[in-house]
Each structure stands twice: as C-alpha cells, then as structure tokens.
Amino acid sequence: MSESNASATRITPGNALRPEDIASSSAKPTAEVAEYALRLGDDSLILAQRLGWWISRAPELEEDVALGNIALDLMGHARSFLTYAGHAWGKTEDDLAYLRREPEFRSAHLFEQPNGDFARTIARQLVVSHYQFELYSRLVESTDATLAAIAAKAVKEVDYHRDHASQWVRRLAQGTEESHNRMISGLTLTWPYVEELFTDDPLIDSLGDAAVLPSTLRKPFDALITALFAEAELQVPAVPGAIGGGRHGCHSEHLGYILAEMQVLAREHPGATW
C-alpha cells in the first residue's frame, strides 16, 4: 500500500463561484442593488459571526463540524454580497465589514439574536434557513446577473441548512421532556423577529425584478414551517412580532457588541493589510 493511497478519498477544491471571482469581475451594481446586496450580505455575516462561537462548544464533535460548515457557507455568501455591493462605492468586503458603524449595517434583528442554548440556535437556524431558501430560490431569476449567480450557489447550501435545522427541531421537540421544553422556549424567543424578514419597503419596490419582494415569501415559509411543526407536534409561538428596523440601520442592542468584537483589531490598525 503506497502512503498516498492509504487514505481512501481524494480531495479537490471543486469549482464554484467564489467571493474572489466577484472581486475580480467588473460588474458594478446600481446604488439600489448595492444597498440590497448589503442587506443580504449583512444578514449572513452577522449570523456567521454568531455561529462561529459554536466551533469548539457544540454538543458533540460531529456537530462542531456541522455548524462550522454552515457558518462557512454563510461567510461565503456574505463575502460575495459585500464584495459586489462594494463595487458601487469603490470599497472592499473588508471596508464594509470592518469600517462601517452600527447604523450603517443593514442586518435584520433575527440574525443578531444571541446563540442561547443549542435549541435557541436551532430555532434561529430554522427560520433563517427557510427564509433564505425561499429568497434565494427566487433570486436566481434576478435581472441582476451577479445577484442571480450568488443566489444560485447559495440556494443549494441553504437547502442543506434547512434540512439540518429541521432534523434537529424534530429531535429536540420529540426527544426528552427537557429538550422539548427548551425547543419551545427557543422558538418563543425567536419568533418575535420573524416578521421583519417578510416586510417590504420602498427600496425593494424600486428594484423591480432585480430583487425579491419579502412579503411574497411568507406564504411558502409558513406552509413549510406549519408542516414541520405538525409533524413535530409543535405550535407556532403566539407572540407578537417585534418592530424591526435593521434594514434602515436601527438595530437590536446586541449588534453593538457583535461589531465591537468583530472590528476591534481591524480598527486598531487603520490601513493595515492582513
């Protein structure tokens, strides 16, 4: 047995759209498309930042790896969207991630919510992955070719995130009494922030077929969630939706801390490269 063959499987980088490809492309978004890409990028960036915490803290090693994969997918989406958005203003993904102030971020409140326990993280994953799947599966038809290309890669990945979250929702909901209670508590804490995801605003209206109207995603989202909950014997939490504001820079109290941590080093060394 030669050493090079001793491991049964072969590794390759594969070929898919990478943030670097977008950085080197000359496609320049309109100001409105850039603003829209910022929203999508910030959602994924902030969630990836949150999920990164789990790596080395998950309930089992297999889950460290699973959550790591999801965080890395989201990181890839964030980098692509931010890189593209930056083309409108001559900025890089890092300029946007590290040098914007809190009111300049466009993430929705849901993405900023704390990890809490594993059930709360899974509840947030459930909502995000189902929302993003519906969104990206329509964004592939965007009249903006770059947005469509990013969505085409992302939709397959968030499809898996959807499956991952659903598997865990079933297990936690119908596992032990403790896990059942924790799942309900996680969903209850998450649900106030669902509504903001599906709210239309003037920017989206102005984008026409380049963007996807959030309100059109609510029905398919509800249908899938209701079906899953019926199977897992869960109820949609009866809690009022919170007034959001992330899309125009009015954030939850959590974002300040997230950014303080994320940006500290880059801001300490202005102009440095890494």
Partner 1 sequence: MTGGSTTGDDGAKAPSTGVHEKREPWPLWEVFVRSSRGLSHVHAGSLHAPDAEMAVRNARDLYTRRNEGVSLWVVPASAIVSSDPDAKGQFFESSQGKDYRHATYYTKSDGVKHL
Partner 2 sequence: MAVAEDQADISAGEEQFNSLIAQDSRIEPRDWMPEAYRKSLTRQISQHAHSEIIGMQPEANWISRAPSLKRKAILMAKVQDEAGHGLYLYSAAETLGTSRDKMTEDLIAGKARYSSIFNYPALTWADMGAIGWLVDGAAIANQVPLCRASYGPYGRAMVRICKEESFHQRQGFEILLELANGTQAQRDMAQDAVNRWYAPSLMMFGPPDDDSPNSQQSMAWNIKRFSNDELRSRFVGMMVEQVRVLGLTLPDKDIRFNDETEKWEHGPLDWNEFKEVLAGRGPCNAQRMERRREAHEEGAWVREAAVAYADKQAKHSQQKAA
Residue pair 221/134 in contact (Cβ under 8 Å)? The answer is yes
Tokens 């009022």 belong to: 240
Among the listed residues 37, 45, 42, 140, the one whose alpha carbon sits nearest the alpha carbon of residue 85: 37
Burial class (CB in 10 A: 0-12, 13-18, 19+), 177: exposed
Nearer to partner 2, 93 or 196 (CB): 93
Among the listed residues 158, 135, 159, the one whose alpha carbon sits nearest the alpha carbon of residue 147: 135
**231 touches partner 1 by CB under 8 A:** no
Encoded tokens for 160: 């898996």
Where on the chain is the footprint of partner 2 (CB under 8 A)?
3, 6-7, 9, 11, 19, 45, 48-49, 52-53, 55-65, 68-69, 71-72, 75-76, 78-79, 82, 93-94, 97-98, 117-118, 170-172, 174-176, 178-179, 182, 261-262, 264-266, 269, 271-274
Residue 55's binding partner among partner 2, partner 1, none (Cβ under 5 to 8 angstroms by kind) is partner 2
Nearer to partner 1, 4 or 26 (CB): 4
Kindly state the smallest distance separating residue 128's Cβ from partner 1, in Å: 18
Residue 116's binding partner among partner 1, partner 2, none (Cβ under 5 to 8 angstroms by kind) is none
Calpha distance 138→89 (Å, rounded): 26
Residue 123's binding partner among partner 1, partner 2, none (Cβ under 5 to 8 angstroms by kind) is none
Nearer to partner 1, 2 or 26 (CB): 2
Task: Count other Cβ atoms within 10 Å, centred on residue 165.
Answer: 22
Residue pair 247/39 in contact (Cβ under 8 Å)? The answer is yes
Whole-number CA gyration radius for the chain: 19
Nearer to partner 2, 105 or 198 (CB): 105
Nearer to partner 2, 224 or 266 (CB): 266
**2 touches partner 1 by CB under 8 A:** no
Kindly state the smallest distance separating residue 155's Cβ from partner 1, in Å: 17
User: Which segments of the chain does DSSP mark as H helices, in order?
Assistant: 19-23, 31-51, 61-86, 93-99, 109-112, 118-139, 145-173, 177-190, 202-207, 218-232, 254-268
Residues in the interface with partner 1 (CB under 8 A) total 18
Instruction: Identify residues 145-184 at the interface with partner 1 (CB under 8 A).
Output: 160, 163-164, 167, 171
**9 touches partner 1 by CB under 8 A:** yes
| CA distance between the termini of the chain | 42
Calpha distance 120→116 (Å, rounded): 5
Q: Which of 3, 4, 13, 209 binds partner 1 (CB under 8 A)?
A: 13
Nearer to partner 2, 39 or 142 (CB): 39
Residue pair 70/51 in contact (Cβ under 8 Å)? The answer is yes
Residue 97's binding partner among partner 2, partner 1, none (Cβ under 5 to 8 angstroms by kind) is partner 2
Which residues contact partner 1 by CB under 8 A? 8-14, 60-62, 65-66, 69, 160, 163-164, 167, 171
